[in-house]
Amino acid sequence: MPLLQTHALTRRFPGVLALDHVDFAAEAGEVHAVCGANGAGKSTLMNLLSGTITPTSGTISVNGETVSFVSPADARDAGIAIVYQEFSSIPELTVADNIFLGREFCGRFGAIDRRAASRAAADLLGRYGISLRPDALVGSLGVADRQLVEFARALATDARILILDEPTAVLSISEQAKLFGVIRTLRERGLLVLYISHRLEEVFEIADRVSVMRDGALVATREKSALTSSELVRLMTGRDVAANTAPALLVEGRRTALKLEGISENGVPLELREGEILGLAGLVGAGRTSIAHRIAGLRPRDGFSAALFGAALPDDPARVLAAGVVYMTEDRKRDGIFAPLAVTSNATAASLDRFALGSFLRLRRERAQAGEVLRGLRLVAASLDTPIGSLSGGNQQKVLFARALLARPKVLICDEPTRGADVGAKEEIYAVLRRLAAEGVAIILISSELNEVLALSHRIAVVRHGRITAVMDNAGLDEHALLVAATGAGSKNAAA
């Protein structure tokens, strides 16, 4: 009998079927990888298993017993623990303190018995082969060790099932090896480890079996030995070599708009021409956004230099913007929208110079121009005075596009421009990007959706570990080739 099983597990969000009748089974003593593209339903499945959300229908059973989780505490009681990508440990406390956070060993009068906690922590760490000192301050530890503290916290709840959500996203190769050692010990101890990852090379290294999800459904569960990396990619994308809509050819005689030196692995400078759309392909955590931030002056350039039409690009965000390089954030909520403010104010935030006479705003002119651009983008909103926070994700993105357009970009860096947009809004955003390119704007497109990168880009640069490892003309490329390049599966699995 499988340790963990789901029957027709379904979860519906408003307008989205996030998980569709999933029958999943995994055994004790295995490392079971769950793969899938963004939005395939991995996170929904894990959130259901860990009690963060409740199913719309279907059941979960542990050890043959049907369980129902109303809260994460219920899942913990059933022996399921989850380790998220973000650290939740407290740096100012010791390893032992963190492991038993919220479940402190209390002596008489409710005083915390630190010696008992330390002993219990040492015992726990030893049992799973984790080499950490219980009295070390978590803040003094490296990233991998902090990750292990998260493991230990989860294990301290007597978990039999440990869910790891992209545990290596922030780790270097050697740190990763350390982590894998611990995961193997867990497997030997009879735990079930559910391993979620985008990185195929890791999946092939650590997993015993692989389940692939796509569009909310479980499409296959295979033994690793019966799976090749190209087959896995095919299962994930659901497509054989898809016919690629060839993008318009670059017009000859366009000048080089942006030149980046010191960013490619082979030392060749990356040149972006006027009217060109360059896709940045890579996995989550590969460093695409970090490259964008470094161009935009949001973080130090660190050993690479940028030039705009031959002149060195300043390194202060406001001056980069003034020079005509506009960065559109991937995280609308964090540093994109001004939620309580009107659509108009949001649209003109980066171009107030043009709507002011000295210190005074020219409101009528602002309203007219913002309205014109927003209508061109087919914004759906009650009025120009509606707070942007009340719009849908796709419409918020259109307003951010309007902000970028009103700033009259020479180079536009779009980071996940269609995140949260529905199909219709996506098509409209694609049309805007194509039109801008036709008008001569150089565009860097970052997207986790490979089909998007393929449909829009003239060239595609592959990013791994914060550097560009290859630049390919987008002719005859498909998702498979791109995913292989992005994961490095090609080099790794030739031997497997």
Partner 1 sequence: MSMALDTPRASLRLPSLDKAAVWIVLVVLLLLAGLASDAFFKINYLTNLVRQAAPVGITAVGVTFVMLLRGVDLSVGAIVSMSAVVCALVMDGKAENLWLGIAAASACGAAIGLANGLLIAHGKVSAFILTLGMSIVVYGLVQMGTGGTARGIVSPGFREVLNSRVGGVLPVLVIFLLVAMAIGIFLQSRTRFGRSVYLIGANPDAARLAGLPVNRVTVIAYVVSGFFAGLGGLALLARTGVSGTNPGAGMEFDVLAAVVLGGTTFAGGRGSVGATFAGVMVLFIALNLANVAGLPYAAQLTIKGLIIIAASAAHSWIGWRVSARTQQ
How many residues touch partner 1 (CB under 8 A)? 45
Q: Is 216 in the site for partner 1 (CB under 8 A)?
A: no
**262 binding partner 1? (CB under 8 A):** no
Asked if residue 457 lies in contact with residue 279, where contact means CB atoms within 8 angstroms, the answer is yes
Asked if 39 interacts with partner 1 (CB under 8 A), we say no
Q: Which is nearer to partner 1, 93 or 341 (CB)?
A: 341
Characterize 460-479 residue by residue with b for buried, 16 or more Cβ atoms within 10 angstroms of its Cβ, and e for exposed: bbbbbebbbbeebebeebbb
Q: From the list 45, 257, 337, 373, which residue makes contact with partner 1 (rule: CB under 8 A)? A: 337
Q: Which of 311, 295, 229, 265 minimizes the C-alpha distance to 443? A: 295
Rounded least distance, CB 255 to partner 1, Å: 24
| Among 280, 282, 284, CA closest to 197 | 284
To the nearest 10°, report the CA torsion of 441, 447, 449, 453. 30
If 0-12 CB within 10 Å is exposed, 13-18 middle and 19+ buried, where does residue 349 land?
middle
Site residues for partner 1, window 364-393 (CB under 8 A)? 371, 374-375, 378-385, 387, 389-393
Q: Are 161 and 192 in contact (CB under 8 A)?
A: yes
Segment interacting with partner 1 (CB under 8 A) among 195-203, 356-364, 460-468, 480-488: 356-364
Question: Torsions phi, psi of 374, nearest 5?
Answer: -65, -40
- How many of the other CB atoms lie within 10 Å of CB of 301? 16
CA distance 490 to 496: 10
Residue 14 in the binding site for partner 1 (CB under 8 A): yes
Q: Which of 65, 102, 108, 334 binds partner 1 (CB under 8 A)?
A: 334
DSSP string, 114-162: HHHHHHHHHHHHHHTT----TTSBGGGS-HHHHHHHHHHHHHTTT-SEE
Q: Is 359 in the site for partner 1 (CB under 8 A)?
A: yes
Among 340, 368, 431, 496, binds partner 1 (CB under 8 A): 340
Q: Which is nearer to partner 1, 427 or 473 (CB)?
A: 427
Contact map string, positions 108 to 137, toward partner 1, x by CB under 8 A = ------------------------------
Report which of 158, 233, 236 is spatially closest to residue 191, judged by C-alpha positions: 158
Instruction: Decide if residue 363 touches partner 1 (CB under 8 A).
Output: yes
Q: Could you say which of 11, 146, 403, 459 contacts partner 1 (CB under 8 A)?
A: 403
327 interacts with partner 1 by CB under 8 A: yes
In the stretch 268-307, what mask flags binding to partner 1 with x, by CB under 8 A? ----------------------------x-x---------
> Which of 106, 318, 438, 475: binder of partner 1 (CB under 8 A)?
318
Instruction: Give the CA distances from residue 194 to residues 35, 205, 223, 410, 476, in Å, rounded to whole numbers and listed in that order.
Output: 10, 14, 14, 46, 36
361 vs 431, which CB is nearer to partner 1?
361
Residues of the shown chain interacting with partner 1 in the complex, contacts defined by CB under 8 A: 14, 296, 298, 317-318, 321-322, 327, 329, 334-341, 345, 349-350, 352, 356, 359-361, 363, 371, 374-375, 378-385, 387, 389-393, 403, 420
